[in-house]
């Protein structure tokens, strides 16, 4: 699964947990979350595991087992979600060194590094300014 879809799946799961909490349901199972995302519960458990390690969700074992938010939805930003599930940079440079004898090959990495750095900073700021509560609000409007 690509980095962007990992962010989307994790955000979907957290938003569903936020709605469940609002409706008075304390926990959801990975099967219930998977049904909303329309994916395999194993994918959801992996994502929730990342979110648990980041302190965004908690798991309850035994009777009434399931997952719940560890903090209020207003306190969880999409940047925290991205940092919990993302292992790659959003923009990648060449995997191999370009031809340094070529004028474009010689300068492309530094040029794109600057552009990608600014783009990533803008993206991270937007994600930092958006909470799970914001996503839930927008979701229910649509």
**Each residue's pLDDT tens digit, 24-71:** 998 999 999 999 999 999 999 999 999 999 999 999 998 889 999 999
* Res 86: pLDDT: 80
Tokens of 92: 């990648």
Is residue 23 one of the residues assigned to a domain?
yes
Is residue 112 one of the residues assigned to a domain?
no
Q: Closest Cα to residue 29, out of 54, 2, 57?
A: 57
* Res 142: pLDDT: 67
Distance, CA of 13 to CA of 65 (rounded, Å): 16
Is residue 93 one of the residues assigned to a domain?
no
Q: Each residue of 68-116: pLDDT tens digit?
A: 999 999 999 999 999 999 867 777 787 888 888 998 999 999 999 999 9
Distance, CA of 59 to CA of 69 (rounded, Å): 9
| pLDDT(3) > 90 | no
Is residue 58 one of the residues assigned to a domain?
yes
Is residue 98 one of the residues assigned to a domain?
no
Distance, CA of 140 to CA of 142 (rounded, Å): 5
Question: At 35, which CATH number?
Answer: 1.10.10.10
Strand spans (E) along the chain:
57-60, 66-69
Is residue 51 one of the residues assigned to a domain?
yes
Range of the domain at 53: 3-88+131-141
> Could you give the number of structural domains in the chain?
1
Strand partners, 66: 60
Is residue 113 one of the residues assigned to a domain?
no
Distance, CA of 127 to CA of 106 (rounded, Å): 33
Is residue 8 one of the residues assigned to a domain?
yes
Distance, CA of 42 to CA of 48 (rounded, Å): 10
Report the predicted TM-score, pTM, of the whole model to 2 decimal places: 0.87
């Amino acid at each position: 699964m690509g980095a962007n879809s990992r962010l989307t799946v994790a955000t979907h799961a957290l938003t569903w947990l936020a709605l469940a909490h609002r409706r008075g349901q304390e926990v959801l199972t990975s099967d219930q979350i998977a049904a909303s995302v329309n994916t395999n519960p194993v994918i959801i458990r992996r994502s929730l595991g990342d979110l648990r390690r980041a302190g965004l969700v908690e798991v309850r074992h035994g009777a009434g087992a399931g997952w719940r938010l560890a903090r209020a939805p207003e306190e969880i930003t999409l940047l925290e979600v991205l940092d919990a599930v993302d292992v790659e940079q959003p923009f990648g440079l060449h995997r191999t060194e370009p031809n340094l004898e070529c004028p474009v090959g010689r300068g492309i990495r530094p040029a794109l590094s600057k552009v990608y750095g600014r783009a990533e900073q803008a993206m991270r700021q937007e994600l930092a300014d958006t909470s799970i509560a914001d996503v839930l609000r927008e979701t229910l409007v649509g």
